[in-house]
């Protein structure tokens, strides 16, 4: 790949329709195409993703395509992307995201200031369930929040200086879930900070269709992250009892309500514009507690 100041890595699996929307957004960036590369790592898709990327490459000279013969998982696919790119700065987004027109420019400036950048998540408001999911899952990174240092990151919108990722050894190979969270927690333990930059925005449009699906996702995500929270409990300031299965099982409804209250009180935009989402966010945080309890009882990560 021709060296650029920044390369964008997008890993995808059987989402050609959504990927097309993302690639159109990447082709309309305010940054000149000569200033950034876009690498699509196709993680074993069987839905025409390759032909889609070949078509886009005809009008996007900065687009590259790499296909894994089998599905290797997101962590491994991202590591392949890191190895194939050459830019000193790396940005990551997902195939269900739509970057803002100035996303590359703003990510480039943010990475010149900070070694790791957590970008912001904007949610469509015309789909109630997607809005609820984004509030529940990405509330620390909504674009209505203020910039700050943070311990976490949203894999849908993140940037790293290459030297940082290389010093960390990339993402944990073969990790099934929360490879982004594991990476930045490891970075924090090494003394490398993360900065949330609300002006670096992508719109997140995941395939979520109803309360049952949202609850299942919240519980599954908890199973994949609760062990990380336990491993980094001291750094995160979490008391031991708060991550015990008994505590989570007994108090999950109360924890769900209190967590939702904290989310809404810390972001007045949610109170004024999206109050109807509050009961669903309470339910999602309760489901998270139940999933975390099951994960802890299983005694190993999924």
Please, are residues 49 and 12 in contact by the beta-carbon 8 Å criterion?
A: yes
Q: Predicted confidence band at 209 (pLDDT cuts at 50, 70, 90)?
A: confident
Residue 1 lies in a domain: no
The pTM score is 0.94
Q: Are 211 and 283 in contact (CB under 8 A)?
A: yes
Domain that residue 93 falls in: 6-204
What percent of the chain is predicted at pLDDT more than 70?
98
pLDDT in tens, 105-118: 999 999 999 999 99
How many domains does the chain divide into?
A: 2
Query: Which domain CATH number covers 153?
Result: 3.90.550.10
Domain boundary among 188, 204, 220: 204
Q: Are 72 and 173 in contact (CB under 8 A)?
A: no
Cβ(91)–Cβ(69) under 8 Å?
no
> Last residue of some domain: 204, 235, 270?
204
pLDDT in tens, 256-302: 999 999 999 999 999 999 999 999 999 999 999 999 999 999 876 55
149 & 243 share domain: no
Provide mean pLDDT across the span 29-38. 96
Q: How does the average pLDDT of the chain come out, rounded? A: 95
Q: What is the largest CA-CA distance in the chain?
A: 57
Residue pLDDT, tens place only, 147-182: 999 999 999 999 999 999 999 999 999 998 899 999
Given 171, 204, 237, which residue is the final one in a domain?
204
Q: What distance in Å separates the CA atoms of residue 166 and residue 168, rounded to the nearest whole number? A: 5
Comparing CA positions, the residue from 235, 236, 238, 249 lying closest to residue 292 is: 249
pLDDT at 299: 73
Q: Which residues contact 75 (CB under 8 A, 6 or more apart)?
A: 171, 172, 173, 174, 175, 176, 179
**Per-residue pLDDT, 301:** 54
- So what's the pLDDT on residue 302? 52
Q: How far is CA 51 from CA 17, 54, 58, in A?
A: 12, 5, 11
């Amino acid at each position: 790949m021709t060296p650029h100041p920044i390369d964008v890595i997008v890993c995808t699996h059987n989402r050609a329709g959504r990927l097309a929307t993302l690639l159109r957004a990447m082709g309309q960036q305010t940054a000149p195409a000569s200033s950034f590369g876009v690498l699509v790592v196709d993680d074993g898709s069987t839905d025409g993703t390759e032909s889609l990327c070949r078509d886009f490459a005809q009008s996007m000279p900065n687009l590259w395509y790499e296909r894994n013969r089998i599905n290797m998982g997101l962590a491994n696919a991202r590591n392949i992307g890191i190895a194939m790119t050459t830019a000193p700065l790396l940005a990551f987004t997902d195939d269900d995201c739509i970057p803002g027109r100035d996303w590359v420019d703003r990510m480039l400036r943010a990475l010149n200031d900070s070694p790791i950048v957590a970008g912001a998540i904007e949610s469509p408001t015309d789909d109630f369930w997607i809005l609820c999911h984004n509030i529940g899952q990405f509330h620390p990174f909504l674009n209505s929040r203020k910039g700050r240092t943070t311990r976490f990151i949203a894999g849908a919108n993140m940037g790293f200086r290459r030297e940082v990722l290389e010093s960390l050894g990339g993402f944990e190979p073969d990790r099934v879930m929360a490879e982004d969270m594991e990476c930045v927690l490891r970075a924090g333990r090494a003394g490398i900070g993360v900065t949330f930059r609300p002006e670096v925005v992508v719109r997140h449009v995941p395939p979520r269709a109803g309360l049952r699906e949202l609850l299942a996702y919240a519980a599954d995500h908890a199973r994949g992250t609760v062990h990380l929270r336990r491993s980094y409990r001291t750094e995160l300031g979490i008391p031991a009892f708060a991550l015990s299965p008994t505590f989570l099982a007994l108090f999950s409804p109360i924890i769900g309500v209190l967590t939702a209250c904290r989310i809404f009180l810390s972001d007045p935009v949610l109170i004024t514009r999206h109050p109807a989402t509050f009961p669903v966010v309470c339910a999602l945080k309760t489901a998270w507690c139940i999933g975390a309890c099951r994960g802890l009882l299983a005694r190993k990560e999924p």
